[in-house]
Structure formats: structure tokens, C-alpha cells
């Protein structure tokens, strides 16, 4: 009958056992490889953190606080551990940045064996571009846009209250303000990947350009002081990124689907 359990021959049973053992060994190898990636990456960050904390902690904290100190804003500690946590977080973020080459190399060593030659080239190129764009976005924000935000909140408190900012809230504000810019600068790569899979086209992006300009203008008006120069310093790079992303989509050919 159809529901009767098929009796395996000794050879078939041996083949099944061998396949099961092979799968377990492959999974075990992947787990060991992933553990090595985590251990080496964490070790690199830990070593960098210890060096920074004991040798360069003060200059690093001065660099983080420079935008407010240069404007005469007093930075205070409202809790026992706030000053220490500022040093700790600043050194930890810097340690991750310094250890990034090791982290990237470890991730690549884990992923690359599963890729074909053409996929390795594409993945390596995209990864490098994404890293470069993220760093560019963070640096651009911290150097040009973030000081405008500090001026905005400083001027808003004028005549209302004395500006005395908590170090904890200030550091969290720095991260929450700067990191999104790094993510925003990934837009060309995101559009490339969507266009590659046929999700967006140059025609679609061009058709919605006027709505994008409106959104960018509103965001720039909210995040910057109320003057045209400051708004342009934020709005123009955002619009330029959108246009670059649109041109990327224009020349990308959608990936052909493989029929079963």
C-alpha cells in the first residue's frame, strides 16, 4: 500500500546516516567559525578600548564636548556615575571605530566561502562603499550640521533658562543625531539594491521628486536654526544623495529571475 513505510536497503541507510553526519559537521563548523569571528572582533574592540581609556580618554572626551564648551555652555553631571560613563561610552564608541577593520575582515572571512567569485566582487565593493558613505555621513554631520543643532537649542534657551546640559543627555543626543546621518548616506546603496531586484526604477524616483523635495525641506527646517543658510547646508546634501540614488537606479539593470 501507498502508506506502508519503505524499507531501506543497507546502502541507502548508510547513505542517509552519512548525510546526517555531514550536516551536523557542517553546522558545527559554522558555529565554530562564528564563535571565532565574535571572539576576535570582541578582543580587537577590548584592546582598543583599554588603550584609549588609559592613554587617550581625556583628549577624546574633550573632542566630544568641544561643540558645547566652545559656546560657553556649562556641562554638568547630575548623577554620581555620569562623568565616568561619559568616558566609558566615548572610549567604547571610538574603540569600535578603531576595531572596525578587524571586524570587517572577520565578517568577510565568515561570509566569503559561501559566495561565488562574481558575488565576492560585488559584495566587497558594496561593503566598502557602504562603510565609506557611513563614515562620510557621520563626519559631515558632526563637523557641519551638529554645531547648527547645538546653536539652535542654545539660542532657544536664551532668556528662558541658563544652559547647563547633563553630560549623559548630551552624549545620547550626539549619538542619536550623528548616527542617523551615517545611515541616511547609505541611500544610494539601498536604491541600487532595490533597483537591482526590480523594486524601484528611475522613472518612479523621478516622478516622486517633488514630494521628496518637500519632505527634505520640512526636515531641514525642523533640524536647523531658522535661517536659509543653515537649512541649505542640511537640505542640499540630502537632495544630492537622492539624485545620486536616482542616477544609480537609472543605469542598474534588474537581476534576471531564474525560472525553475
Tell me how far apart the alpha carbons of residues 130 and 146 are, in angstroms, rounded to a whole number: 22
> Do the Cβ atoms of 98 and 60 come closer than 8 Å?
no
pLDDT in tens, 196-238: 777 778 888 888 888 888 887 887 777 655 666 667 776 788 7
What pLDDT sits at residue 206? 83
pLDDT at residue 1 above 50? no
CA gyration radius for the chain? 26
For 152, residues 6+ apart whose C-beta sits below 8 A from its C-beta are 224, 225
* Mean pLDDT, residues 250-255: 74
- Rounded to two decimals, what is the model's pTM? 0.71
Burial 225-253 (b: 16+ CB within 10 A, else e): beeeebbebbbebbbebbeebbebbeebe
* CA dist list (Å): 87 to 48, 54, 83: 14, 10, 7
pLDDT in tens, 66-91: 888 887 778 888 878 888 888 998 99
What pLDDT sits at residue 26? 63
pLDDT in tens, 18-56: 666 666 666 677 788 888 889 999 999 999 999 999 999
Amino acid at each position: 500500500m501507498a502508506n506502508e513505510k519503505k524499507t531501506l536497503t543497507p546502502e541507502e541507510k548508510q547513505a542517509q546516516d552519512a548525510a546526517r553526519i555531514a550536516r551536523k559537521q557542517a553546522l558545527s563548523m559554522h558555529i565554530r567559525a562564528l564563535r571565532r569571528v565574535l571572539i576576535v572582533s570582541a578582543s580587537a574592540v577590548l584592546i582598543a578600548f583599554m588603550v584609549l581609556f588609559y592613554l587617550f580618554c581625556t583628549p577624546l572626551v574633550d573632542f566630544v564636548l568641544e561643540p558645547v564648551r566652545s559656546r560657553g555652555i556649562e556641562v554638568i553631571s547630575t548623577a554620581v556615575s555620569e562623568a565616568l560613563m561619559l568616558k566609558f561610552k566615548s572610549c567604547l564608541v571610538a574603540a569600535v571605530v578603531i576595531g572596525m577593520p578587524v571586524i570587517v575582515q572577520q565578517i568577510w572571512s565568515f561570509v566569503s566561502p559561501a559566495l561565488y567569485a562574481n558575488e565576492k566582487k560585488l559584495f566587497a565593493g558594496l561593503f566598502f562603499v557602504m562603510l565609506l558613505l557611513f563614515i562620510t555621513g557621520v563626519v559631515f554631520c558632526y563637523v557641519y550640521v551638529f554645531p547648527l543643532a547645538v546653536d539652535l537649542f542654545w539660542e532657544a534657551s536664551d532668556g528662558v533658562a541658563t544652559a547647563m546640559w547633563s553630560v549623559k543627555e548630551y552624549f545620547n543626543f550626539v549619538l542619536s543625531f550623528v548616527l542617523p546621518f551615517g545611515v541616511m548616506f547609505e541611500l544610494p546603496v539601498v536604491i541600487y539594491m532595490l533597483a537591482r531586484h526590480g523594486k524601484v526604477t528611475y522613472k518612479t524616483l523621478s516622478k516622486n521628486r517633488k514630494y521628496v523635495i518637500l519632505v527634505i525641506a520640512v526636515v531641514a527646517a525642523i533640524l536647523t536654526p531658522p535661517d536659509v543658510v543653515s537649512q541649505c547646508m542640511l537640505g542640499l546634501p540630502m537632495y544630492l544623495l537622492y539624485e545620486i540614488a536616482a542616477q544609480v537606479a537609472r543605469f542598474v539593470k534588474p537581476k534576471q529571475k531564474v525560472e525553475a
